[in-house]
Amino acid sequence: MKELIVSEKYDNIKLDKFLLNEIPKININTIYKLLRKKDIKINGKRVNKNITVSSNDQILVYINEDSLNNKKIKKIYEDENILIIDKPINIEIQGMQSLTNIIHKLYSESEYKPMPCHRLDMNTSGLILYAKNKQSLDILLDKFKNKEIEKHYLALIYGMPKEQEKRLEAYLFKDNKKSQVYISDMPKKGYVKIITKYKVLQKNENNTSVLDVEIETGKTHQIRAHLAHIGYPIIGDGKYGKNKINKQFKRKYQMLTSYKIKFNFKTDAGILNYLNKKEFTKNIDINKFKNS
């Protein structure tokens, strides 16, 4: 249990912001879970809403201290220029309670803190590439922009595609207010072109399939929304999937993981030329993935 007193500097702010500042290892999902369970007391009364707090309020947070420990950070590869991390689910890439924040603490003595070169959704696990110096960061951002780095994902979908491999083209619109994207087969005002490629790795008896997915354009929620658009939602996806299917398979998070990064430099990469044609893969068994 955590016992806190609201100081004057936090007067008249929301409870979640106060807790994020005062409990360093807590995250927003944990806070709302505590609220749903009424495991937070303010001045002796249990609350289930993100209310505004006032100075001198007494707050009790009923949480196991062990659950506040940072997630274990699994390194896939590291040298003097890059770092590849296997990101767990339920953590953002950037922000106060993010993977990058944890890594910066691990490298607190370093002259340059590792910086992410791309992103993953909070509830998508897998490989994230970090640059350990400014020169590497500039090179890698340029290589991603010029599509000289491949990102491959494993996705467990509902359905069995007729075509073993396919390159999909469509158009995506991002609604920032709703934190959601929409897909169109035809160009529209405000929509940007997206390209998603998939290859069927395994078809299962329960009408599910495991896909290798590669994105040539890295837009928000692209894989999740694009696959759902063509009728093959990712199992466990609460935003673009189907609740009935998610409940059937008892999945709370999308079955999507970034499992391979491959460097295909077409132009000079300076200090990173040694990475050309190399690939780094997350050690994952397809059968364990579909049943995890």
Q: Residue 54: which CATH number?
A: 3.10.290.10
Looking at the structure, do residues 156 and 254 belong to the same domain, yes or no? yes
Domain presence at residue 275? no
In this predicted structure, what is the pLDDT of residue 129? Answer: 98
Is residue 179 assigned to a domain? yes
First to last CA, the chain: 31
Please, what is the average pLDDT of the chain?
Answer: 92
pLDDT digits (tens, 9 = 90+) for 236-278: 999 999 999 999 999 988 999 999 999 999 999 999 999 999 9
- Model confidence over 79-93: pLDDT tens digits? 999 999 999 988 889
- At 5, is the pLDDT very low, low, confident or very high (cuts 50, 70, 90)? very high
Q: Is the pLDDT of residue 27 over 80?
A: no
In total, the chain counts a number of residues equal to 292
* 252 and 156 within one domain: yes
Binning pLDDT at 50, 70 and 90, where does residue 1 land? confident
* 288 or 124: which leads in pLDDT: 124
Going by pLDDT thresholds of 50, 70 and 90, the confidence category of residue 65 is low
CATH number of the domain bearing residue 183 = 3.30.2350.10
Backbone angles phi, psi at 114, to 5 degrees: -55, 140
pLDDT-derived band at 22, boundaries 50, 70, 90? confident
| End residue of a domain, out of 26, 51, 68 | 68
Q: What torsion do the CA atoms of 64, 33, 156, 162 make, to the nearest 10 degrees? A: 170
pLDDT of residue 67: 56
Specify if 283 maps to a domain: no
Residue 56 domain boundaries: 2-68
What residue spans of the chain are helical by DSSP H?
15-22, 28-36, 99-106, 134-145, 222-229, 243-248, 286-291
Number of domains into which the chain is organized: 2
* Structural domain contains residue 112: no
Give pLDDT tens digits for 165-179.
999 999 999 999 888
Q: What is the pLDDT of residue 102?
A: 87
Residue 229 lies in a domain: yes
Residue 204, in any domain of the structure: yes
Examine the fold and report which residue of 44, 68, 92 is the final residue of a domain before the chain moves on: 68
Residue 95 to residue 126: CA distance in whole angstroms: 18
Residue 29 neighbours by CB under 8 Å, 6+ apart: 90
Among residues 68, 95, 112, the one where a domain terminates is: 68
pLDDT at site 28: 81
- Residue 274 inside a domain? The answer is no
CA quadruple 107, 112, 118, 120: dihedral, nearest 10: 20
Concatenate the DSSP letters of all residues of 91-159 into one string: --SSSTTSHHHHHHHHTTTSSS--EESS---TT-EEEEEEESSHHHHHHHHHHHHTT-EEEEEEEEEES
In this structure, the answer to whether residues 62 and 157 fall within a common structural domain is no
What does the pLDDT read at residue 73? 80
Catalytic positions, written as ranges:
121
Q: What is the pLDDT of residue 71?
A: 56
Q: Is residue 186 part of a domain?
A: yes
| pLDDT tens digits, one per residue of 28-45 | 878 888 999 999 999 999
